[in-house]
Structure 1
């Protein structure tokens, strides 16, 4: 017999505070249907954005995976048979072939240790990012990365703007809106900045003014928030900001992937080409020496 909002609160891992707050406001205001429709639109837009980003990254991942598989097959199954043949013949091998043989020997002796070191480093890093301090530093570092940091910043800000707009529309006071938005974000660096804005808001400084003091909040956001506060249509201003940031994040993601794809293709082409060249040059060298 409990309310829907109370039921949502019992599952915080599935439903963030934003959901329970919005549903509770809808229940109290008698407009739960409208609130649920707004939440559905919010989730749909977020899903579309995530789908676009994943779709843009799928091709580079597949290219790298296929190239790695091809190289492993060449070095593991094809090249060793050539090495044994050349050893029996006793022919002098070209430099590229000797380099590849040395690389293959090194990986055969130390490849397992290298893999263990990499796995240990990845595991230690992952475990550290699960601690409060590690998670904060990881999120802070992600925001500072070139290209990627801007995309992360835009994505986080657009999500915050949509959350705040939704909660304002259902009638929650601004301090509660910020509190729910803070608890809904997974980025600790964003959470820190929002908390400072919330504290300034409680002191009576408004919303736009404290945002201008934090580098996280981009000028468009602070300007639109100021306009929204002055006109009394803050929720509409936040939606405008969210749409602008989502479009920019999509454009930057597409542009970044467009630059990465040719680079990956060229690098892997050179790598595979080097392996094939080493094998063919050795073959021609041996045949030439045998003919002599």
Structure 2
């Protein structure tokens, strides 16, 4: 078995083993490279240390990058060999740092940005977990009722020589439909879920799904604030790393997730490249950018501290996302309870009402 590199861990006083290629792992990679650069190590020495302690896919990637740098390529070009792993902001920040002599600072800014992005993604996923789990549980219980419990109860009702209420007759019809089309229903549900997921991921559906995310009251706040936080954090980090506004806006358009924000940033980038002010360009998209954003950007441009203003905006909207995700479960819970209550109430009426009628006739 391979031996652990104890001396290197004690030298930097932390565990630098990296395995995956997610946001957290890339943030650690940037952080450790920054620390090693500040410690006076060369790029190749830093990559040697990380290569020895990395694991899994990241180890293979670092090995290729290390060989590329050792053969004379720049660090940015070496990272650029893995465009599916390292985003435009990662490569551009490294490129700007190498050319300006501020690589350690840029790597630190990059690490902070990636860590904030990881926290943002975790908050959104955590907020969506509760409603998804409840809906899946309700779906499984519904299928269990349809395929297992109802077929055993329905014959009892069919044998009753009494007028059945509408809800019970509807339940009997539904049970017969399920019994006669069990295989078709199971296959249809599976294919339907697969088709729905494929459609949601397809590019042609993005204008519709992203428009809904900006309009549905429950998720609108999270969607808007998330995109504004990513825009502010990414653009501020790139400007702080030394990129010009044109390059920074082009990369920013690739980091936001919403179709309409991406389209807006591409158009804004074209205007800015022709001499327009960023604040004035943002102001033409009032539905996407609140007045506070445009005014803060205007102040940043006039004061010459645009990157600092953008970082402040990013922190503000990250707090807004945090608050919105905490309130999401509270907002969705009554809706879920109402839907489940309607289903349970329908089943209770369908099953209890005929039994109550029979017991009433017996007493008479």
> Quick check: TM above 0.5?
yes
My pick for the range that moved more, 258-267 or 181-190, is 181-190
1:276 to 324, 327, 348: 348
Work out the CA distance in 2 between the residues paired with 1:16 and 1:158. 17
**1:175 deviation in Å?**
1.3
CA contact (8 A) 2:76 2:91 kept: yes
Work out the CA distance in 2 between the residues paired with 1:200 and 1:255. 38
Taking only aligned residues, the RMSD between alpha carbons, in angstroms, comes to 2.8
2:231 to 149, 152, 160: 160
TM-score w.r.t. the length of structure 1 is: 0.86
Q: Does 1:266 align with 2:338?
A: yes
Measured against aligned partners, the alpha-carbon deviations of 1:185-229 in whole angstroms (never above 9, x if no partner) come to 343321221122112212212211111111322211111111111
The 5 Å alignment of 1:44-63 reads 44-63=115-134
Work out the CA distance in 2 between the residues paired with 1:284 and 1:50. 52
CA contact (8 A) 1:23 1:32 kept: yes
TM-score w.r.t. the length of structure 2 is: 0.71
**1:287 deviation in Å?**
5.0
2:144 to 52, 61, 73: 73
The 5 Å alignment of 1:1-292 reads 1=70, 2-88=73-159, 90-109=161-180, 112=184, 116=188, 119=191, 123=195, 126-127=198-199, 130-131=202-203, 133-215=204-286, 216-287=288-359
Work out the CA distance in 2 between the residues paired with 1:63 and 1:148. 17
Measured against aligned partners, the alpha-carbon deviations of 1:52-103 in whole angstroms (never above 9, x if no partner) come to 2222222222222222322322332222222223334545434432222123
Work out the CA distance in 2 between the residues paired with 1:121 and 1:76. 19
CA contact (8 A) 1:220 1:241 kept: no
Which consecutive residues of structure 1, in runs of 5 or more, have no partner in the other structure? none
Measured against aligned partners, the alpha-carbon deviations of 1:23-53 in whole angstroms (never above 9, x if no partner) come to 1112223332222222221122222222222
Q: Which has the higher contact order (CA 8 A, sep 6+)?
A: 1
CA contact (8 A) 1:86 1:286 kept: no
Work out the CA distance in 2 between the residues paired with 1:267 and 1:138. 23
My pick for the range that moved more, 222-231 or 102-111, is 102-111
CA contact (8 A) 1:79 1:279 kept: no
CA contact (8 A) 1:63 1:265 kept: no
Work out the CA distance in 1 between the residues paired with 2:83 and 2:181. 46
Work out the CA distance in 2 between the residues paired with 1:286 and 1:96. 16
CA contact (8 A) 2:106 2:241 kept: yes
Partner-residue secondary structure (3-state), 1:63: helix
